[in-house]
Structure 1
Amino acid sequence: MRAAEATAGAEVLISGSGTAITGVPGPDALSDPPGTAPGPDPVSTLRGSGLRYKDRATKLALCAARDALDDAGLLGPDGELDVDGDDFGVVVSSNWGNVDTVCETAATIRSSTYRATSPMLLPNTAGNVTASWVAITHGLRGANVTLCNGATSGLDAVHWARTLIAARRLRRALVIGVEPVNEPVLHLVGDAGPLFDGAVALVAEAADAVEARGGTPRARIGRYVRAGDLHQALAAARENESRPPDAWWPPEFPLAPAAPVPPPATGVPARDLRARHGHCSGALGVLQCVAATAELTRTAGHSMLAAAGRGPGGDGPGEDDAAAALVLHGVSVAPAGAAS
């Protein structure tokens, strides 16, 4: 709760977003029903050397990052970063990440000792490899963080990007939620139903940074709360809100279906992304924010409420260690406490 209050007055905007999901052409389509034509695998659009040794999560993240930077107007005609990268950071959320590379390397060491490992592949077993490759590719030299934090990880990532900007450690941050589907993930998760295979990204910027470069704000990141109980997190996140959100984005149950959570206010429609994309795990919170930003922009809406995790007291199968909630505002909505 203290972290949410510490950044309550900071104005941080979302200025761009991107997706790397088969059959989803962009953020506006995240809430659409599944299409009949799945479309190409996003990683097929990547070009350049070194791709052979990158895991699927990193490749997906690179696709979503490229599109988010381009959508924000931060890439020049040559595809290179058009702003200073020294205060531009990366925050990635992924619970499965590079587990395929880690499992492959561990199997090689077990069967043939470490001498059989590839010097090209071994560095990619680092937990921060996806965030690192995104930063290297685009020259983002600010703080570089990976969160592997269970159900709340995606919303936590958006929060920490905002915190870094509010603390003036960064001017901009690229936030990515990514989860791959591969044999090790399927083995670890078991029979959990459809799993999300893709990446989404958003660009968070200080409001004055967006204004200085003539960028287009899409949404404002509002109050974030992490709590031990979902209903407590929802109520605290909306503490300063004068009206219900236009829609809310509910959490998913831990690897099993269950009854929907009641809305935070009467008549607030739910946007259940798991029903469209499968179990999203660490990508969920970023996916919610990208989809909510697209809807706020499209409808000139007032606010959206995203929630992830249910806390250890949540009903339904399984337990999450916490719950998190985050409010996004339309850019025409004044920040809390602003002069009228």
Structure 2
Amino acid sequence: MNPTGILVTGVGLALPGASRPADLLRSAPTAGEPAVDPAAVLGRRGLRYKDRASQLALCAARDGLRAAGLLADELTVPGGSVGVVVSSNLGNLDTVCGVADEIRELGVNGISPMGLPNASSNVIASSVAIRYGLRGPNLMVCNGATSGLDAVYWGAAMVAAGRAERILVVGVETRNRWVSGLSGAPEEQLLDGAVALVLERAEAAEARGAVGTAVLGRYARGAGEERCLDRLLDGSGEAPVAWFVPEGGPSTGRLAADVPRSDLSEVFGRSSGALGVLQCAAATGWFAANGADGRRPVLVTSGTDRDDAVAGFLLTPVGAAG
């Protein structure tokens, strides 16, 4: 299934140095910006026993739902019409390692019954759903370099298949000594933040008077960057006007040299499972900052020939002819 035509109707950010999608186009690194304080964003109530990844996801989710017009004091649509897909490869690694340390040092009787549930890989997705009353499908994706775009794809596929009228997709990673140790990257080079997208059927958005910020176009996933780009850029549509590239840059020079390239990891830090969601949010920021630019799409890709797979999406501005 290639679920084209799904709208992005809301974007939420919990990132240092960025409060709106257009801010994702900045070129200066955010390493010196203050970290997001979830308690200042959401208030302390309900956060006490949540791990940082879940707290950041809750911040981005709230703002994404609000931006889409789905959340005021409470949901403005039935909770069963909204599902959740979260992508994070290492988001709760600190909890997992902390629990392992407690078992080693104190035995199983020393484990906190309040903290242990945070060691579950799906805790972020379930926390978001419970907090905001989202009773649709719930999925956690931990899938390596392509994880963020995989999450966007599965969210769009569920909408296209009628499993939900809209899906909240969240990408989140955290910065700590455990992630640094496992990845081999210094802590200051790691992302500490979350990004949320609301994906929605066009008719569902129209029925409630919502206007999208971008449209999901062609998607491809496979082994090798050239093969992925062959499937995305087969000559049947307009050439991309910009390219949000994988961490470390692409392995290929497939696109013309004058197509602007942006490696968001150079600005926000190595983003792992959050990258694809961040890239799609940045594409909506590009449209907001540069106008529709006719029919021309923005290309986003995650993963390179060094990884087990490469994934990519084309996004177009709302109102561009198909």
What band does the TM-score fall into relative to the shorter chain? Answer: over 0.9
* AA aligned opposite 1:194: Q
Instruction: Indicate whether 1:295 and 2:289 are aligned.
Output: no
Among candidates 26, 46, 51, match of residue 55 of structure 1 = 51
Q: 2:197 aligns with which of 189, 192, 202?
A: 202
Report how far residue 241 of structure 1 moved: 3.9
- How is 1:124-273 mapped onto 2 (pairs within 5 angstroms)? 124-191=118-185, 194-239=189-234, 241-253=236-248, 261-273=252-264
Separation of aligned partners in 2, 1:240 and 1:115: 62
User: Percent identity among equivalent residues?
Assistant: 47
**Residue 82 (structure 2) aligns with:** 88
Asked if 1:284 corresponds to 2:278, the answer is no
CA distance in 1 between counterparts of 2:102 and 2:108 reads: 7
Structure 1 position 26, deviation (Å):
2.0
Q: Residue 158 of structure 2: SS of its match in structure 1? A: helix
User: Are residue 331 (structure 1) and residue 314 (structure 2) matched?
Assistant: no
Gap regions ≥5 residues in structure 2: none
Q: TM-score, normalised by structure 1?
A: 0.88
Amino acid at match of 1:308: S
Residues in 1 aligned to 2:250 and 2:22: alpha-carbon distance in whole angstroms: 27
Tell me, what secondary structure is at the counterpart of 2:80? coil
Equivalent pair of 1:31/1:276 in contact (CA under 8 Å): no
Q: Which of 16-25 and 260-269 deviates more? A: 260-269
1:15–1:72: 8 Å Cα contact kept in structure 2? Answer: yes
Q: State the 1:322 CA deviation.
A: 0.5
Distance in 1 (alpha carbons) for counterparts of 2:185 and 2:218:
36
TM-score by length of structure 2 reads 0.93
Provide the residue aligned with 2:71 in structure 1.
75
Amino acid at match of 2:76: D
Question: In terms of mean alpha carbon deviation, does 40-49 or 25-34 score higher?
Answer: 40-49
- Tell me: CA distance 1:277–1:248, structure 2 relative to 1, closer, same or farther (3 Å): same
2: distance between equivalents of 1:143 and 1:235?
32
Residue 147 of structure 1, CA deviation: 0.7
Deviations 1:146-183 (A, max 9, x none): 11111000111100000001110111000111110012
How many residues were matched structurally?
316
Partner Cα separation in structure 1 for residue 250 and residue 203 of structure 2: 43
Q: 1:224 to 1:250 in 2, by over 3 A?
A: same
Distance of 1:259 and 1:154 partners within structure 2: 17
Structure 1 gaps of 5+ residues are 1-5, 336-340
Deviations 1:127-156 (A, max 9, x none): 000010000011000111111111000111
Q: Quick check: 2:146–2:309 contact (8 Å CA) kept in 1?
A: yes
Contact 2:89 2:143 in 1 (8 A): yes
Write the letter of the residue equivalent to 1:303: P
Q: Pick from 306, 322, 328: which aligns with 2:309?
A: 322
Within a 5 Å distance, the mapping from 1:12-51 to structure 2 comes to 12-34=6-28, 38-39=33-34, 41-43=36-38, 44-51=40-47
- Asked if the contact 1:296–1:303 (Cα under 8 Å) also holds between the matched residues in 2, the reply is no
Matched position secondary structure for 1:82:
coil
Which deviates more from structure 2 when the two are superposed, residues 162-171 or residues 29-38?
29-38
Q: CA RMSD in A?
A: 1.9
Distance 1:50 1:39, change over 3 A: same
